[in-house]
Amino acid sequence: MADAVQISPAVSDALTILGAAGVVIPTFARLKISPVLGFIIVGVVGGPHVLGGLADRHHWLEAFSINDPAGIEPFAEFGILLLLFAIGLEISFRRLNAMRTAVFGLGGVQMLSTALVVTAAALLAQATPSSSVVLGLALAMSSTALVLPIAGTTSVVGRAALAILLFQDLSLVPILFLLDAGAGSEAIVGTLLAGLGVIAGLLLVGKFLLPTLFAQAARTKSPELFFSISILVLMLCSMATGQVGLGASLGALLAGLMIAETDYHSEVEVITAPLRGLALGVFLISVGLRLDLPAIAADWPLLLGALAAVLVLKSGIIMALLRWRGRRASAAVEAGFLLSSPSELTLIVLTAAAAAGVISGREAEFWTIVTALGLTLTPVLAALGRRLSRRIDPEALGSGAGDTAGLTLIFGFGRVGRLVADMLASHGRRYLAVDGDIDCVAEARTADYRVIFGDVARGHPVERFGLQDAAAVVLTMDDPVLTVRLTRAIREACPQLTIVARARDAAHAAQLYKAGATDAVPETMEGSLQMSEAVLVDIGVAMGPVIASIHEKRSELRAQIREEGELSAEPALGRRR
């Protein structure tokens, strides 16, 4: 009977990781600390050098330790594929084309200059030329998985970081390809030709097939179908590029790029976010498992010296480049600290280089520990850089201009949303509408409205649609509960943003005002006022006095609604900035 209830080591490790995620994420979120540090600590504590070592004497600790560190490596590799998939979603060919100057200019110069400096330093330290070049390229990379969630993509620092990180992510593919190409030049040319054929085929199929597949998923309103199609595309692309020798990493990046070209990339990004977060957590736990505490204790001066040298070199180069490109000193300092650590991609390059025999196992282990320590310090360095940048330039705290800067966002594009868009356009004001009905979106686009597909009920609206820099947001959905929830979430994140919401009646409008709406417009009230205006005009009252009395009555009714919502009659925050 006892044997029947025994848990296998693999299941025990899975439960440990899932339990750690359930504890780390909410705990560190409450402490306002990046969970990255928590996952790495879980790997260290649950690894063979802490609880794993104590479990030999105290068997009950096996339930809290990771018994087979090598067993979670495939899941960590899948986490890397999901990370590259997310990078592809973030890039898109259109965005890459729009940012080509920053990506291939700033990003290319950063990668090349950092790699050259690190290579020269490694040669001075008596490393071989081949290992020096590999170390230069590997250590020049910064962590996309950690940096972008911290910096975002709409701030001055975030956009600079995005340009640098995009070039680094794109450069991973040729680096891995060259490391894997152990055969002669003829084999390399053959692989390249086969790879180009596969990539062209995938892009062609994706262009015509993916919009149809996602459109059907949108009509069913099934997030599970969205998720299944996304993972299927990821796996098929990774398998296809892996089979021709280009590596699964390129396929994962390509899958994200293909979906980014559809109207559904925002929805896919939100729906796959939980799995990406868990997979990244597994990867970070594997980083913690690689931290050999006895080795660190034995070589800590050398390890810390190497890490300090990497941090100083990279941050200095990035600061100098950003100042050269005209960025403010505060932004250069913050970006320099943020991007100074090595990357999860560094670990991939080191592993591939060791497998190819370009660097020794001892070198790979040493720099793996340095990289893991650097990843652990990334959130701390980001906070330090932000604090220093604010001391240097207290005025440079805004999020900067993003893709939605100056736009009015319209959530919901039925008859009300369409009328709001018409009025904005007639006054020369730019807008962007978002609707979760793909047929409505397709019809509106045919009529030359600027509309994108997206379910505003999923994810955080501010982060997802870049509301920090918007002129206003208009909520026209016919869902009173969702409207109140969105109003509250947007107001908490954007205290000064104008929020105009559609209300069903006076009671609903009072709830919206209490949640933080700048203006709430009850349909019943406006309908009554319009009828009153029509009656008065039709029975012969002059238009001027009628309009004046309608405005006066509207103001009176709004004041009453605000009182019902336990608010003063003064306008809410965000009114007509």
In the chain, % of residues over pLDDT 90: 8
Q: Are 476 and 506 in contact (CB under 8 A)?
A: no
In a domain, residue 138? The reply is yes
Residue 315 has what pLDDT?
A: 92
pLDDT tens, position by position, 10-54? 666 677 777 776 777 677 766 666 676 677 777 777 777 776 666
pLDDT over threshold 90, residue 117: yes
pLDDT over threshold 60, residue 394: no
pLDDT tens, position by position, 250-299? 788 888 888 888 878 777 877 887 777 777 777 777 777 777 777 777 88
188 and 297 part of one domain: yes
Hey, CA dihedral for 547, 551, 556, 560, is it positive or negative?
Answer: positive
Q: Are 560 and 505 in contact (CB under 8 A)?
A: no
131 and 212 part of one domain: yes
Question: What domain range is 445 assigned to?
Answer: 402-468
336 and 248 part of one domain: yes
In a domain, residue 203? The reply is yes
415, 445, 468: which is the final residue of a domain?
468
Q: Rounded to 5 degrees, what are φ and ψ at 402?
A: -110, -165
What DSSP string runs through 125-151?
TT--HHHHHHHHHHHT---HHHHHHHH
pLDDT tens, position by position, 155-194? 678 778 888 888 887 787 788 777 765 544 555 667 677 7
382 and 292 part of one domain: yes
Count of the separate structural domains present in the chain: 4
pLDDT tens, position by position, 226-256? 888 888 999 999 888 878 777 777 788 888 8
349, 368, 391: which is the final residue of a domain?
391
In a domain, residue 449? The reply is yes
In a domain, residue 39? The reply is no
Q: Are 202 and 237 in contact (CB under 8 A)?
A: yes
In a domain, residue 50? The reply is no
**What is the overall mean pLDDT for the chain?**
78
In the chain, % of residues over pLDDT 70: 82
Residue 464 has what pLDDT?
A: 72
What's 90's domain CATH number?
1.20.1530.20
Q: Are 369 and 303 in contact (CB under 8 A)?
A: yes
501 and 460 part of one domain: no
198 and 341 part of one domain: yes
274 and 227 part of one domain: yes
Cα–Cα dist 9/35, whole Å: 25
In a domain, residue 193? The reply is yes
Residue 566 has what pLDDT?
A: 57
Write the DSSP symbol of residue 571.
P
Cα–Cα dist 369/232, whole Å: 34
In a domain, residue 273? The reply is yes
456 and 312 part of one domain: no
324 and 417 part of one domain: no
Q: pLDDT tier at 571 (50, 70, 90 boundaries)? A: very low
435 and 376 part of one domain: no
Q: Say if pTM beats, i.e. exceeds, 0.85.
A: no
Residue 109 has what pLDDT?
A: 92
In a domain, residue 431? The reply is yes
Q: pLDDT tier at 574 (50, 70, 90 boundaries)? A: very low
Mean pLDDT over 546-553 rounds to 78
HEC readout, 479-548: CHHHHHHHHHHHHHHCCCCEEEEEECCHHHHHHHHHHCCCEEEEHHHHHHHHHHHHHHHHCCCCHHHHHH
242 and 384 part of one domain: yes
What's 425's domain CATH number?
3.40.50.720
279 and 251 part of one domain: yes
Residue 49 corresponds to which tokens in the numbers above? Answer: 């050098």
369, 391, 413: which is the final residue of a domain?
391
pLDDT over threshold 90, residue 348: no
Cα–Cα dist 364/359, whole Å: 7
Cα–Cα dist 71/10, whole Å: 7
pLDDT tens, position by position, 436-480? 887 788 888 888 888 888 778 777 777 677 777 788 899 988 888
